[in-house]
Structure 1
Amino acid sequence: MRVTLLGTGDTTGTPTPDCDCDTCRAARDRGVERTRFSVHVEDEASGDALLVDFSPDFRHQFLREDDAHLPDAGIVTHIHFDHLDGLGNAYRLFDDLPVYAADETDPVTGESVADTVASKYDYLAPLDTHPVSPLEPFEAAGFEVTLVPVDHPPLVCYGVVIERDGATLALSGDTTYDIPEASLDAMRDPDLLLADGIVPASLADYHPKGGRHLDSDGVPRTFGTKHMTREGALALGDDLDADETKVVHAAHYYPEDEAFADEIAVDGETFRL
């Protein structure tokens, strides 16, 4: 199973447009970027390809990573635009595109993620939306996939576990450190964990809600109300006994001297599980 990180950034990406902060300047100088989130998973023997989340940067990502085949199926974890709005790229690119999303009704929107995908993109003839139940494995493009509920208020959001031929990839989804126990159980022992770590814990004081879910040293593992800190993401990897953890969904607010550490992913990184 080959995993390609198409997009490793948060909602504005790094470099952020019209931003002259030290981190954005350094990213430009290094020729690296963190576009909006998306992960490509491929079985190299069969060529089966699965896409987790449809970044608004879809076109750029697939042109840049020209050995990443267009997906045979896709998964949508939640309905924020940086994870969903790239679905519009399905126009003229696919004859048929199965897209899997959770069937639980969101009390905020009054519909499930699958309902929102189907209604928002009802004009796309190739799109075939498949509602699936969280914590119940299903098959997509030849991979065994499980959606796991996480904590990203006010909307429902899901992490993802993907398995094939004994290899396991886990994605935390956009979440705080307060992931339900049943979801943690489903995510345990991955070969690779991609964990949301939007900023380092040192920046939690800058959020109006501060930091939460403190560790034994008082370090916040949640930033505000929706995302983990870097420290929370890495702690989650330890909790799950992940063989390797990469921090994703990183913002340009990381200080320059921390923003390009090995554990914080950048676009184009590839892993073979």
Structure 2
Amino acid sequence: MQVTLLGTGDTTGTPTPGCDCGTCERARELGVERSRFSIHVENERTGESLLIDASPDFRHQFLTEDVPLPDAMVISHIHFDHLDGLGNAYRLFDDLPVHAASEVDPATGESVAGTIRDKYDYLDRITVHDHAPFESFETCGFDVTLVPVDHPPLVCYGLVVETDGAKLSLTGDTSYDLPDRSKEALADPDLLLADAIVPASLCEHHPIGGNHHAPDGTPRTFGTKHMTREGALALADELDAGRTRLVHLAHFYPPGEAFEEPLAIDGERYELR
């Protein structure tokens, strides 16, 4: 499988519009970008491709990167930076399968699949397919599994994508507090894409600080919803990831750290075999 990182940023992206911080200025100098989150996975055996999350930057991403339009999508959760690009299905697709979890969210009274079905009821070009967490389904020649993670107050899912012995794991938007069963599902990937919104040093600026501290006191969660860089790397070690790229990155990383390994930028490509 060929994995292309179309969008590696958080909700505002980097550079952030109207921002002249050192990190945004450095991104402009380097000519790099972190648009809103989206991952393209191509099955070279079948010639099909799967899009993980529909970024609001959908149009820009597909004009910028040399990848085919997807044959199907998977949506991890209903925050706008992962969902609102779905409106691009209008006039681009005849019938686009969209896969999402069937589990009802206590916070909304609706599943991710149900929310998509209701919110995009005007789109006759998409067909929503409901799937239970941990129950693998096939799309684009891949075996795909939705894996519950911890992103309060909404339900959210990581993903496992497998084919021909290759395994891609995505943590989705999550704190460090993943359920043990989810860690088991995500474990031993060839490539791990892990949410790492900021470095742990910035937890002092969050209203509630950090959480899930390491033995040395380093917070592995920023607030309640996202892992720190240090938390994501600790999880990668625990999952025994073959390779790790950190994604869903905010422009709050200090400029001297913001583009260092293993922090990803848009356009990176990985061949998994």
TM-score, structure 1 as length reference = 0.99
Residues of 2 paired with 1:44 and 1:269: CA distance? 17
Residues of 1 paired with 2:51 and 2:148: CA distance? 19
SS at match of 1:264: coil
Once the two structures are superposed, the pairs formed by residues 45-56 of structure 1 within 5 Å of their partners are 45-56=45-56
User: What's the CA shift string for 1:64-123, capped at 9, x where partnerless?
Assistant: 002x11111100000000000000000000011000000011111110000000111111
SS at match of 2:41: strand
Aligned partner of 1:32 in structure 2 is: 32
Residues of 2 paired with 1:83 and 1:156: CA distance? 13
Amino acid of the structure 2 residue aligned with 1:206: H
Residues of 1 paired with 2:146 and 2:208: CA distance? 28
Aligned partner of 2:13 in structure 1 is: 13
Residues of 1 paired with 2:208 and 2:227: CA distance? 13
Amino acid of the structure 2 residue aligned with 1:54: A
Using the TM superposition, give the Cα deviation of residue 239 of structure 1 relative to its aligned residue in structure 2, in angstroms: 0.5
Residues of 1 paired with 2:183 and 2:265: CA distance? 25
Amino acid of the structure 2 residue aligned with 1:10: D
Aligned partner of 2:137 in structure 1 is: 138
Residues of 2 paired with 1:94 and 1:15: CA distance? 30
Aligned partner of 1:225 in structure 2 is: 224
Residues of 1 paired with 2:43 and 2:113: CA distance? 25
Using the TM superposition, give the Cα deviation of residue 217 of structure 1 relative to its aligned residue in structure 2, in angstroms: 1.2
Amino acid of the structure 1 residue aligned with 2:268: E
Residues of 2 paired with 1:190 and 1:27: CA distance? 30
Once the two structures are superposed, the pairs formed by residues 70-89 of structure 1 within 5 Å of their partners are 70-89=69-88
SS at match of 1:259: coil
Amino acid of the structure 2 residue aligned with 1:153: P
Which sections of structure 2, spanning at least 5 residues, go unmatched?
none
Aligned partner of 1:168 in structure 2 is: 167
Using the TM superposition, give the Cα deviation of residue 140 of structure 1 relative to its aligned residue in structure 2, in angstroms: 1.3
Using the TM superposition, give the Cα deviation of residue 45 of structure 1 relative to its aligned residue in structure 2, in angstroms: 3.0
SS at match of 1:116: helix
Q: CA contact under 8 A between 2:246 and 2:263: conserved in structure 1?
A: yes
Aligned partner of 1:61 in structure 2 is: 61
Structure 1's consecutive aligned runs of 4 or more residues displaced over 2 angstroms after TM superposition are none
Once the two structures are superposed, the pairs formed by residues 108-123 of structure 1 within 5 Å of their partners are 108-123=107-122
Q: CA contact under 8 A between 2:46 and 2:141: conserved in structure 1?
A: no
Q: How many pairs are equivalent?
A: 272
Using the TM superposition, give the Cα deviation of residue 47 of structure 1 relative to its aligned residue in structure 2, in angstroms: 1.4
Identity within the alignment, %: 68
User: What's the CA shift string for 1:181-204, capped at 9, x where partnerless?
Assistant: 110010110000000000000000
Once the two structures are superposed, the pairs formed by residues 98-109 of structure 1 within 5 Å of their partners are 98-109=97-108
Q: CA contact under 8 A between 2:13 and 2:36: conserved in structure 1?
A: yes
Residues of 2 paired with 1:79 and 1:140: CA distance? 21
Aligned partner of 2:246 in structure 1 is: 247
User: What's the CA shift string for 1:126-148, capped at 9, x where partnerless?
Assistant: 10000100011111111100000
Aligned partner of 1:197 in structure 2 is: 196
SS at match of 1:238: helix
Which sections of structure 1, spanning at least 5 residues, go unmatched?
none
SS at match of 2:160: strand
Aligned partner of 1:265 in structure 2 is: 264
Residues of 1 paired with 2:173 and 2:85: CA distance? 17
SS at match of 2:256: helix
Q: CA contact under 8 A between 2:46 and 2:140: conserved in structure 1?
A: no
Using the TM superposition, give the Cα deviation of residue 226 of structure 1 relative to its aligned residue in structure 2, in angstroms: 0.2
Residues of 2 paired with 1:219 and 1:271: CA distance? 31
User: What's the CA shift string for 1:24-63, capped at 9, x where partnerless?
Assistant: 0000010000000000000123211000000000000000
Q: CA contact under 8 A between 2:36 and 2:57: conserved in structure 1?
A: yes
Aligned partner of 1:43 in structure 2 is: 43
User: What's the CA shift string for 1:199-227, capped at 9, x where partnerless?
Assistant: 00000010011011111111110000100
Residues of 1 paired with 2:216 and 2:139: CA distance? 42
SS at match of 1:119: helix
User: What's the CA shift string for 1:135-170, capped at 9, x where partnerless?
Assistant: 111111111000000000000000000001100000
